[in-house]
């Protein structure tokens, strides 16, 4: 089916401001010295960044440097913290090990060995995602590049989409970016995806994820998605695309050479009857605070696709209710639906970003109080753990004992979905595996793990 040029033209008109298109220019760890803005920071900080970025992924682009980061406020600036490595992301012992290796002038190969040893100690694959969620084909062979954990949703990791326009310092998929192919989840074998979906009529949602699928050419994305319009995939109601391009490179939707092709693809999928949901990753209202970011949202919405937002709560970036309320309010204003507030996962630089569960819940609740009902659609704070997504619903007392009230929003074991349960209140707990049972009531995830 071809789109008529009338509707395409009205979509193009969603861009209604003057803006000089930029070329996509990216900097990685070896380019740290070429980032002019860093010169204003103390030499020690620059050295620390060098050490940390030899272990954890680093990548930032010119738009983030020029328009998102407030250099007057660096290093505390949340957009700086979102993208630039900080010393506290590694333990003292790991930091020193890497620093000594660098200072002693080891060869690149030997440095890699040290870096890999440290990485292996940072829980590169939380929630057992390499083994536990790997679907199998009819002959029992595991299918690489897919994850199927919750009955209704299959995750697809196209191999061309396993990088991002910039990297978030707290990324839970960081292990995919460090060049070790054995750790990577990806596939180019779309045929296996289609075959799997054909055999699984219970699946209603396909979530294309990465990395960031929006780094792919529109042509590639189209090649993956258009076949889903065939009647044999009528059970796939919703195509979700997980992305942070609306933050890191909004130009993708407006000025890139194939931006129009992408917009037309989204529109085409919508017209053909699919629910298209852009699962946009946002952490801070500042990400919405540029003309190009807002125009990209308008343009995506004009296709008929929905934008839902999700992102973790993070120390040093957004651990206060005011910033969340402002983020959700701005999103509602722009027609973006708040969907999830996550708890930072137990991997990578977690030590630097983690927030105790009781604090996360307070921040969530205080932010909720400041937004209208349309902003209260965000669920959370939610932990994406091995057995499922566990939400902290609140704090209360039973028989005089202070407890957390929790529930599974999603669970591998379907019977756990939406069942409330309790755990001992403890202000030090930052992840579900530290939760302790209350008055002899077993924790359901311990049962599920058995
Ligand atoms: C979060 C998640 C989903 C989607 O869950 P929804 O609540 O439907 O958004 C699917 N699969 C995995 C592995 C997830 O972590
Ligand atoms: S955009 Fe997503 S996948 Fe990419 S670095 Fe950030 S959190 Fe990780």
262: closest CA among 300, 290, 233?
A: 300
Give the separation between CA 111 and CA 156, rounded to whole angstroms.
Answer: 33
Pocket test for ligand 1, best of 126, 132, 150, 277 (most atoms within 8 A of CB): 150
Q: Give the Å distance between the CA of 212 and the centre of ligand 2.
A: 7
Nearest ligand for residue 208 CA:
1
Nearest ligand for residue 60 CA:
2
Pocket test for ligand 2, best of 281, 318, 348 (most atoms within 8 A of CB): 281
Residue-level pLDDT at 242: 98
342: closest CA among 310, 366, 373, 318?
A: 310
Residue-level pLDDT at 189: 77
Quote the pTM value: 0.94
Residue-level pLDDT at 364: 98
Residue-level pLDDT at 450: 42
Residue with tokens 């049972």: 437
Q: Give the Å distance between the CA of 110 and the centre of ligand 1.
A: 39
Residue-level pLDDT at 134: 84
Instruction: Specify the residue with its C-alpha closest to ligand 2, atom 8.
Output: 171
What's the chain look like in SS3? CCCCHHHHHHHHCCCCCCCCCCCCCEEEHHHHHHCHHHHHCCHHHHHHHHHHCCCCCCEEEHHHHHHHCCCCCCCCCHHHHHHCCCHHHCCHHHHHHHHHHHHCCCCHHHHHHHHHHHHHCCCCCHHHCCCCCCCECCCCCECCCEEEEECCEEEECEHHHCCCCCCCCCCCCHHHHCCCHHHCCCECCHHHHHHHHHCCCCCCEEEECCCCHHHCCHHHHHHHHHHHHCHHHCCCCEEEEEECHHHHCHHHHCCCCCHHHHHHHHHHHHHCCCEEEEEEECCCHHHHCCHHHHHHHHHHHHCCCEEEEEEEECCCCCCCHHHHHHHHHHHHHHCCEEEEEEECCCCCCHHHHCCCHHHHHHHHHHHHCCCCHHHCCCEEEEEECCCEEEEEEEEEEECCEEEEEEEEEEECCHHHECCEEEEECCCCCCCHHHCCCECCECCHHHHHHC
Instruction: Specify the residue with its C-alpha closest to ligand 1, atom 5.
Output: 410
Give the separation between CA 228 and CA 224, rounded to whole angstroms.
Answer: 8
Instruction: Specify the residue with its C-alpha closest to ligand 2, atom 5.
Output: 167
* Cβ 51 under 6 angstroms from ligand 1: no
Residue-level pLDDT at 124: 86
Q: Give the Å distance between the CA of 150 and the centre of ligand 1.
A: 7
Q: Give the Å distance between the CA of 9 and the centre of ligand 1.
A: 35
**Tens-level pLDDT at each residue, the chain (450 residues):** 444 555 555 665 556 667 777 889 999 999 999 999 999 999 999 999 999 999 999 999 999 999 999 999 999 999 999 999 999 999 999 999 999 999 999 999 999 999 999 999 998 887 666 667 889 988 888 888 899 999 999 999 998 898 999 999 999 788 888 766 654 555 667 889 999 999 999 999 999 998 999 999 999 999 999 999 999 999 999 999 999 999 999 999 999 999 999 999 999 999 999 999 999 999 999 999 999 999 999 999 999 999 999 999 999 999 999 999 999 999 999 999 999 999 998 888 899 999 999 999 999 999 999 999 999 999 999 999 888 999 999 999 998 999 999 999 999 888 999 989 999 999 999 999 999 999 878 888 766 544
Give the separation between CA 78 and CA 49, rounded to whole angstroms.
Answer: 16
Give the separation between CA 61 and CA 24, rounded to whole angstroms.
Answer: 7
- Residues contacting residue 63 through CB under 8 Å, at least 6 positions apart: 22, 248, 249, 250, 251, 292
Q: Give the Å distance between the CA of 98 and the centre of ligand 1.
A: 35
* Cβ 129 under 6 angstroms from ligand 1: no
Instruction: Specify the residue with its C-alpha closest to ligand 2, atom 3.
Output: 211
Instruction: Specify the residue with its C-alpha closest to ligand 2, atom 1.
Output: 244
CB-CB contact of 328 with 378 (8 Å): yes
Give the separation between CA 8 and CA 3, rounded to whole angstroms.
Answer: 7
Give the separation between CA 348 and CA 197, rounded to whole angstroms.
Answer: 32
* Cβ 153 under 6 angstroms from ligand 1: yes
Q: Give the Å distance between the CA of 264 and the centre of ligand 2.
A: 25
* Cβ 347 under 6 angstroms from ligand 1: no
Give me the helix-helix angle, 259-271 and 5-12, nearest 10°. Answer: 120
């Amino acid at each position: 089916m071809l789109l008529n040029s009338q509707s395409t033209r009205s979509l193009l008109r969603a861009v209604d401001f003057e803006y000089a298109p930029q070329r996509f220019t990216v900097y990685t760890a070896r380019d740290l010295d070429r980032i002019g803005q860093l010169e204003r920071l103390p030499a020690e900080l620059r050295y620390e960044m060098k050490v940390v970025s030899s272990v954890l992924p680093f990548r930032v682009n010119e738009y983030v440097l020029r328009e998102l980061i407030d250099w007057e406020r660096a290093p505390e600036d949340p957009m700086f913290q979102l993208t630039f490595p900080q010393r506290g992301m590694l333990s003292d012992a790991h930091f020193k090990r890497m620093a000594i290796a660098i200072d002693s002038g080891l060869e690149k190969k030997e440095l890699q060995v040290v870096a890999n040893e440290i990485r292996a100690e940072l829980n590169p694959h939380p929630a057992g995602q390499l083994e536990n969620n790997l679907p199998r084909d009819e002959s029992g062979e595991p299918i690489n590049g897919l994850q199927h954990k919750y009955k209704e949703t299959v995750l697809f990791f196209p191999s061309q989409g396993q990088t991002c326009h910039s990297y978030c310092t707290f990324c839970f998929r960081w292990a995919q970016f460090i060049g070790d192919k054995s750790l990577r989840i990806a596939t180019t074998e779309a045929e296996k995806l289609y075959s799997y979906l054909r055999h699984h009529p219970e699946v209603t949602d396909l979530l294309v994820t990465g990395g960031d699928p929006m780094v792919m050419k529109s042509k590639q994305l189209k090649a993956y998605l258009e076949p889903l319009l065939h009647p044999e995939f009528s059970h796939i109601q919703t195509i979700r695309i997980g992305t942070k391009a609306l933050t890191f490179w909004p130009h993708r939707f407006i000025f890139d050479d194939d931006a129009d092709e992408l917009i037309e693809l989204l529109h085409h999928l919508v017209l053909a009857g699919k629910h298209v949901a852009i699962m946009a990753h946002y952490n801070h209202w500042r990400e919405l605070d540029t003309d190009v970011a807002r125009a990209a949202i308008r343009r995506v919405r004009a296709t008929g696709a929905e934008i839902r937002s999700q992102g973790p709560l993070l120390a040093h970036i957004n651990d206060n209710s005011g910033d969340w309320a402002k983020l959700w309010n701005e999103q509602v204003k722009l027609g973006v639906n708040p969907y999830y507030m996550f708890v930072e996962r137990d991997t990578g630089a977690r030590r630097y970003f983690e927030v105790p569960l009781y604090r996360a819940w307070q921040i969530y609740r205080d932010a909720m109080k400041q937004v209208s009902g349309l902003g209260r659609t965000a669920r959370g704070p939610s932990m994406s753990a091995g057995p499922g997504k566990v939400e902290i619903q609140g704090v209360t007392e039973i028989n005089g004992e202070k407890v957390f009230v929790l529930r599974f929003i999603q669970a591998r074991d379907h019977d756990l979905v939406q069942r409330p349960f309790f755990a001992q209140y403890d202000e030090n707990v930052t992840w579900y595996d530290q939760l302790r049972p209350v008055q002899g009531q077993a924790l359901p995830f311990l049962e599920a793990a058995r």
